[in-house]
């Protein structure tokens, strides 16, 4: 699990371990902290940008999850070359090492929240031609292309996972990613929240525990496709999100509005019918309950 000590990765580690799988976690483990709760996990300290670290970590594993990213939408926007200089070479190195090591299947965490761009469709299906308009999404699409390359060149089986907008406990706000924890952290600090535009922007939010369950379902199964949307399939406007947060925190939410950046997509809801046709139907976490659990994690108050 490359990036297994991160937000999504730590939850996938816990889900895999809970189902009885042997798990190794490759991460930098900043401040020597582990974010996952599972015990008996093999811990491998290393840097994804160091090819020697990857070469020492990957051999001997049947499956590799690539869940680490050196950029966020915000940092990639600040420096559009950052993905090209860091994420892309590291991902190619990891794919090459996995292919040379006889890895059976490679899973890549792509983005469903930005990769499709502006589409004339109510929901985004996997067969739509992606039109990313942000450096972050362009970088993710490039790695998806290298999955196809290594599948053709080396026979490395791989699956791209286009994850929508995950939220939940353990989601730090230091990387400026995730509107839900950013909003909740501002409220906890007694500050107003900043809404881009008039609040009509639509996003597909999914609890991180649901993401972990869906990813492990795919890993345990025999996927018929090489690409899956991972989302709730339900659109929520930012205005609706603010209303839900207000009910959870039981206080008036002070909102400031700013213009929408030109690289933001207005409407993103993922069509998850491909996943649901192949894998167990699971009840998703209720949106308000998920916000409440996230608020408890950030504020320290009981859920």
pLDDT over threshold 90, residue 32:
no
pLDDT over threshold 80, residue 57:
yes
Residue-wise pLDDT for 260-287, tens only, equals 999 899 999 999 999 999 998 889 999 9
Q: What integer is the mean pLDDT of 164-178?
A: 84
Six-digit token pair at 162? Answer: 């286009």
Any idea what the Cα angle at residue 299 is, between residues 296 and 303, rounded to 5°?
A: 20
Cα 242 from Cα 2, distance rounded (Å): 34
- pLDDT score, position 174: 64
pTM of the model: 0.96
Domains of the chain, residue spans:
7-167+205-231
Q: Which parts of the chain fold into alpha helices (H)?
A: 7-18, 51-57, 73-78, 82-85, 87-100, 135-154, 179-188, 208-220, 238-249, 273-278, 287-299
Q: What percent of the chain has pLDDT over 90?
A: 91
Q: What integer is the mean pLDDT of 169-186?
A: 86
The band of 36, judged by pLDDT with boundaries at 50, 70 and 90, is very high
Q: What integer is the mean pLDDT of 33-52?
A: 96
Cα 76 from Cα 83, distance rounded (Å): 7
Q: Which CATH class is domain 7-167+205-231?
A: alpha beta
Residue-wise pLDDT for 221-258, tens only, equals 999 999 999 999 999 999 999 999 999 999 999 999 99
């Amino acid at each position: 699990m490359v990036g297994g000590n991160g937000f999504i990765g730590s939850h996938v580690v816990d889900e895999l371990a809970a189902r009885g799988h042997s798990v190794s976690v490759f991460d930098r483990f900043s401040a020597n902290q582990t974010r996952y709760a599972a015990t008996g996990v093999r811990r491998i300290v290393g840097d994804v940008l160091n090819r020697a670290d990857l070469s020492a970590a990957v051999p001997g594993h049947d499956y590799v999850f690539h869940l680490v990213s050196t950029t966020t939408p915000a940092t990639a926007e600040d420096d559009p070359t950052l993905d090209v200089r860091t994420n892309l070479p590291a991902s190619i190195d990891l794919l090459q090492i996995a292919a040379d090591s006889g890895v059976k299947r490679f899973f890549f965490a792509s983005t469903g929240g930005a990769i499709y761009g502006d589409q004339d469709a109510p929901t985004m299906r996997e067969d739509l031609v992606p039109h990313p308009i942000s450096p972050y999404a362009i970088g993710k699409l490039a790695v998806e292309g290298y999955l196809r390359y290594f599948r053709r060149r080396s026979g490395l089986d791989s699956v791209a996972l286009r994850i929508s907008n995950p939220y939940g406990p353990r989601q730090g706000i230091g990387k400026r990613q995730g509107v839900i924890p950013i909003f909740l952290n501002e409220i906890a600090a007694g500050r107003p929240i900043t809404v881009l535009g008039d609040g009509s922007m639509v996003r597909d939010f999914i609890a991180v525990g649901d993401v972990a369950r869906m990813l492990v379902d795919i890993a345990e199964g025999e996927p018929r496709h090489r690409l899956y949307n991972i989302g709730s399939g339900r659109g929520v406007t930012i205005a609706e999100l603010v209303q839900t947060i207000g009910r959870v925190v039981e206080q008036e939410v002070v909102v400031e509005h700013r213009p929408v950046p030109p690289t933001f997509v207005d409407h993103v809801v993922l069509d998850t019918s491909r996943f649901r046709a192949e894998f167990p139907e699971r009840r998703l976490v209720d949106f308000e309950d998920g916000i409440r659990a996230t608020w408890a994690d950030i504020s320290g108050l009981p859920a």
